Structure 1
């Protein structure tokens, strides 16, 4: 079978690939090796798939359905493996093999890849997504290998400052986002292992449990940082509403109360993450996404 990467993956990785990176060129051969090494039968490549990995639906030698996932080093697949191992299937997809000597390859239990929480009505989707997220917030392992929120947002802050210099129009929002980041880090509550990139489309229907999280980019920090990305889910619908700003404020209040997170800290991290994503989208030429995100951030 030809392992043709979906266009969505090619476009997304092309935006972030460092000079000389040839991971996409090597991907078909790497996928073939991973399939042969595990004696897998390929069903199909998941399309449109993710933005940082190739997802292939397979069956193991005994007929058990599974998912083969291949990701470049910059997507931190070994960090994902460590987080999934620590969660052990509690609230998240399970690893289908204990160890892997092949860099960037994960074999996972099969969920229902075409059925995410996003398919539910909005209020129900938020409720189910929040419930799935709560189960992931556990103490990180001792001497954990994960990036911290301070480290990740520190890297992002540097890119945001550069974006503000290049585009003075976004400077006021960047200043506000960086200011609130400093305040939040100064008084951060107890740290937990977080999903890192949680949103409705990252929660799939399963057999063991109704809904399970997939695709973490794990980070250690406060819960409000994780929840902040969920606040802006379906941002295009929010921006299209005349009442989008008030709906967003109600969403922050509802999510903060349901997951026992400080409302102001949630608002602050929502602002930071929206501005960071908006500046990044503008930097790589996704102008429509940038406009939506920055308008959303302006409400906060």
Structure 2
């Protein structure tokens, strides 16, 4: 079977590929090796798939369905492995036992085409928030995970260097919010890092389980901030989008016992950071949506 990466993955990795990176070129052979080593039968490559990894639906030698995931080092797959091992299936997809190979994960099979986004919006937010709450646990001692402070420092540096004068005021507001938030973080938890409705899939063990973490250690409001802007295109298209966004911040903060102003601040920072990054890599439509949303906060 040919293991050609989906075009969505090719485009996304191409936006951030460092000079000389050849992971995509080596991917078909790496996939063949990963399948053969584990004596797997491949059913199909998941399409359109994700933006940072190749995902294949497979069966193990005993017929058990599973998922094989291959990701480049810049997607931090070993950090994902460590987080999934720590969660041990509570709120997240289960990491299956195997001899670990760098950049390759064998995972419990969920229902890959059924995410919480298939639910009506209010129900989807409720189910997603409930899933996220289960992931917020104490990190292990001497953990390998990046901190919110370190991750956002890299992002802040890129924002300062962007040079997009038309969004300079939003960038300054986002950077100021970050500085204030980092001055006194209220808790230290293991976070999903990139949580949104599409990262919550239907399962058998539990109705909904999270997938695809980019784990980070920090305060819960940082994790919840990405969920606030879910379905941003619908918010922007709505005449009441700004009011709906503010109500969503209030409702999610109250339901998960997160400080509302801290959630608003991290939502602002993360939306502006994503918008500036979209401008930088040539996705102006995405940038326009994100930055308009940020202006409502």
Q: Same fold (TM over 0.5)?
A: yes
Alignment partner of 2:246 out of 246, 249, 257: 249
State the Cα distance separating 1:96 from its structure 2 match: 1.0
Alignment partner of 2:223 out of 223, 226, 230: 226
How many Å separate the matches in 1 of 2:227 and 2:245? Answer: 11
Map residues 27-38 of structure 1 onto 2, 5 A cutoff: 27-38=27-38
Alignment match, 2:128 = 129
How many Å separate the matches in 1 of 2:96 and 2:179? Answer: 40
How many Å separate the matches in 2 of 1:222 and 1:66? Answer: 32
Alignment match, 1:6 = 6
State the Cα distance separating 1:97 from its structure 2 match: 1.8
State the Cα distance separating 1:98 from its structure 2 match: 4.5
SS at match of 1:229: helix
State the Cα distance separating 1:64 from its structure 2 match: 0.1
Alignment match, 1:110 = 109
Alignment match, 1:153 = 152
Deviations 1:142-184 (A, max 9, x none): 0100000000000000000011xx2101110000000000000
SS at match of 1:85: helix
How many Å separate the matches in 2 of 1:63 and 1:120? Answer: 31
Map residues 23-62 of structure 1 onto 2, 5 A cutoff: 23-62=23-62
Structure 1 unpaired stretches of 5+: none
How many Å separate the matches in 1 of 2:252 and 2:223? Answer: 12
How many Å separate the matches in 2 of 1:24 and 1:185? Answer: 36
Alignment partner of 2:256 out of 235, 256, 259: 259
Alignment match, 1:239 = 236
In the superposition, the TM-score normalised over structure 1's length comes to: 0.98
How many Å separate the matches in 1 of 2:242 and 2:157? Answer: 28
Structure 2 unpaired stretches of 5+: none
Alignment match, 1:87 = 87
Please, what is the CA RMSD of the aligned residues? 0.5
